[in-house]
Chains A and B, each alone.
Chain A
Amino acid sequence: MEPNNQAGVIIAEAVTKVYSDNGVPVEAVRGIDLTIKHGEFTAIVGPSGSGKTTFLNIVSGLDSVTSGRVWLAGRLLSEMSGRELSDFRRDSIGFIFQAYNLIPVLSVEENIEYIMLLQGVGKSERHRRVGRILEKLGLAEFADRVPVKLSGGQQQRVAVARAMVAEPVLVLADEPTANLDSKTGAGLLDMMRELNQTTGMTFVFSTHDRAIMERATRLVTLKDGRVDNDETRD
């Protein structure tokens, strides 16, 4: 039965994932039901190995489920081909990873532009949007630099800019602050929260850092591949 897609950006239904680790089955996700609503600023938390990355990969189509179903922005992911998934991620999801988010041989500007290039956005429109987001995130002075010439915090900000620039439905961030010191990490999270409030964009991020999870409006705690706790705050 089709769930009501108005109800959530992400709808996960009885999702499981079993990996084979040299022939030994590893149950990374053991049955998660979760709906993420529009505009939420959700933290997925839990100790290392609890299945955060696996879950985020599954709901963004980077990995497949073993059983269960996932709808993202109204599309059932398992129905899409590899190419459709690629295009869908390009248009609908912004990604921020723990580190090395950026293509090292491209400048900051070119990195942010990349997704729009894939989308076939015209040159002047691309420049307008890149300029605007660089300005907004205070990155304008770094436009021509290559990623190695930036600090870790600056690189993560550029990754946020790249994730936002094509105006996706959802931004997914897997431990975006794990490689940053706590102050820089908090700053990044504040920036993301502000973008969430001003644009209404949905954010889901994972962390195991207490100070970071405090900033979330909803806290989903995973334990051994299951939802252990799900609290909404204000």
Chain B
Amino acid sequence: MTLMIYCKLAWRNVLRNKRRTLIAGIAIGIGLAALIYVDALILGMEDNMVKSATSSFLGEGQIHREGFRQTFEVDLTVNNLAEVVESIKQEEVVESFTLRTFCFGMISSPANVSSVSMVGVDPANERHLSQVDEALVEGTYFEGDDDRQLLIGRKLAELLEVGLGDRVVMTAAQAGTGDLAQEMFRVSGIYYFNVPQMDQYMAFVLISKARQMLALGDEAHQIALKFHDAYLGRDQDHPFWNRYSRNGNEAVGWTVLLPQLEAAFELSGFSTLIVAIILFGVVSLGIVNTLFMSLHERMFEFGVMRAVGTRPVAMGQLVILEAGALAILSVVLGMILGFVTLYISTRIGIDYTGIEFAGVTFRELLYPVMEVRQFIVFPLWVFAFTVGIAFYPAIYAARLTPAKAMRKSF
């Protein structure tokens, strides 16, 4: 029952010095809003990076022969390919997949030569896995069965001084014998990813042509995968990966393919923590300062309250309740502030395109990711923290002896 009167007192006391309460509330609120915003930004960045990294070409996961990833040896094709493909078709988690061949080769034009990675693709399936089709700036994506079609990046085209329709010669070593094979191609499309590795060092041909050139029969080097739930690419414990990591093959998600990205994410999680610690440090000083200020200017009042019979613990309780009232105001302010700034950002996006981070180039606008969790967990943190820190002035208030409190105020 006395709790009621202290709640009433606390609330009115907090509203008593409106300006100070507002300033403290805004300070705490900004802290909370910043926390929410940083979290949303990092989520958005991760999403964006994963998308940039996986959807342009990599896929969310891949299957290949063990060792292929490290050596790119033409002989290391996927074991039991037909069987694996049949099985993947039955997988409910898989949205789409495609087969690819790889080889290092030399591409030469009358003007220049360059080493490239020649990728043989199945055009219809490849469309779902990579964005080569969307990144075309000139020419067309594979059309018909003309097996001399070739897609290259703009940088490579500039280097070779070739344009649409120009002829180039590709030289590569065949499987088994290692004999050199040479084929003529015609540039049928030029793409631009704004990712140097793709724009300068890759060349796409039809998988049928690549198989023939490399004497691969029906084999392929890689099965690239896309899942219904993109998170599976990050969940290396999912049974899917185990199911296809046998008979000499290995199946891995993008976190394994791009370890530097996962490491960067861990780092960014850590930086949220640092931001949180710094913010909380600043905020806590503000809270303690505000509470002590209001305590000191009400010293006599506290003395009178103690004199007329308020118990020491109740005085501490009052200070905690005041901190709670301040926290509620601050949290509401912070949530509004966080929501408004986030909402605007999620609408217009943040332009990081072309900037590279952890080996990934941002290719799309960055949209912070707003989650309900951010508006529950962080406010609770801030509330608990504010009330927790108030124990310091609360204990001080509880220990005041009434005579001293009243004398101190003159």
Interface residues of chain A, those whose CB is within 8 Å of chain B, are 57, 60, 62-63, 82-83, 86-87, 89-91, 95, 97, 100-106, 114-115, 117-118, 120, 162
Contact = CB atoms under 8 A, between A and B. Distances in A.
B311 interface: yes
Interface string B300-316: 11001111111111000
A86 B313 CA distance: 10
B312 A83 contact: yes
B376 interface: no
A103 B304 contact: yes
A106 B11 CA distance: 11
Given A104-B301, A106-B9, A86 B309 contact: yes
A105 B17 CA distance: 11
Contact of B304 (A100, A105, A118, A120): A100
Given A63-B401, A97-B406, A117-B1, A87 B309 contact: yes
A103 B9 contact: yes
29 contacts: A60-B307, A62-B306, A62-B307, A63-B404, A82-B311, A82-B312, A83-B313, A86-B309, A87-B309, A89-B308, A90-B308, A90-B309, A91-B309, A95-B304, A95-B307, A97-B304, A97-B307, A97-B406, A103-B301, A104-B16, A104-B301, A105-B9, A105-B12, A106-B9, A106-B12, A114-B308, A115-B309, A117-B2, A118-B309
A89 B307 CA distance: 7
Nearest to A54: B403
B403 A62 contact: yes
Given A63-B403, A104-B301, A162 B308 contact: yes
A83 B311 CA distance: 6
B140 interface: no
Interface in B287-323: 300-301, 304-313
B348 interface: no
Contact of B16 (A82, A87, A105, A117): A105
A118 to B, nearest CB: 5
Nearest to A162: B308
B305 A103 contact: yes
B111 interface: no
Given A63-B401, A103-B301, A87 B9 contact: no
Given A86-B306, A90-B310, A105-B16, 5 more contacts: A91-B309, A95-B308, A104-B16, A105-B9, A115-B309
A106 B8 CA distance: 9
The 3 closest A-B pairs by CB, nearest first: A90-B309, A105-B12, A63-B403
B13 interface: yes
Given A97-B304, A101-B304, A103-B305, A118 B401 contact: no
Given A62-B307, A103-B304, A117 B402 contact: no
B124 interface: no
A90 B4 CA distance: 18
B5 interface: yes
A165 to B, nearest CB: 11
B73 to A, nearest CB: 81
Contacts of B309: 86-87, 89-91, 115, 118
A232 to B, nearest CB: 28
Contacts of B304: 95, 97, 100-103
A106 B401 CA distance: 23
Contacts of B1: 117, 120
A48 to B, nearest CB: 12
Contacts of A60: 307
Given A89-B308, A100-B301, A117 B5 contact: yes
Contacts of B313: 83
A116 B1 CA distance: 11
Contacts of A117: 1-2, 5
Contacts of A106: 9, 12
Contacts of A115: 308-309
B5 A114 contact: yes
Interface string B1-25: 1100100010011001000000000
A151 B305 CA distance: 21
A63 B9 CA distance: 26
Nearest to A95: B307
Nearest to B5: A117
B177 to A, nearest CB: 94
Contacts of B306: 62, 86
Given A57-B403, A62-B401, A62-B403, A100 B310 contact: no
A114 B1 CA distance: 12
Contacts of A86: 306, 309-312
A5 B300 CA distance: 33
Contacts of B12: 105-106
Contacts of B307: 60, 62, 89, 95, 97
Contacts of A104: 16, 301
Nearest to B12: A105
Which of B13, B312, B403 has the largest count of A CB atoms less than 10 A from its CB? B403
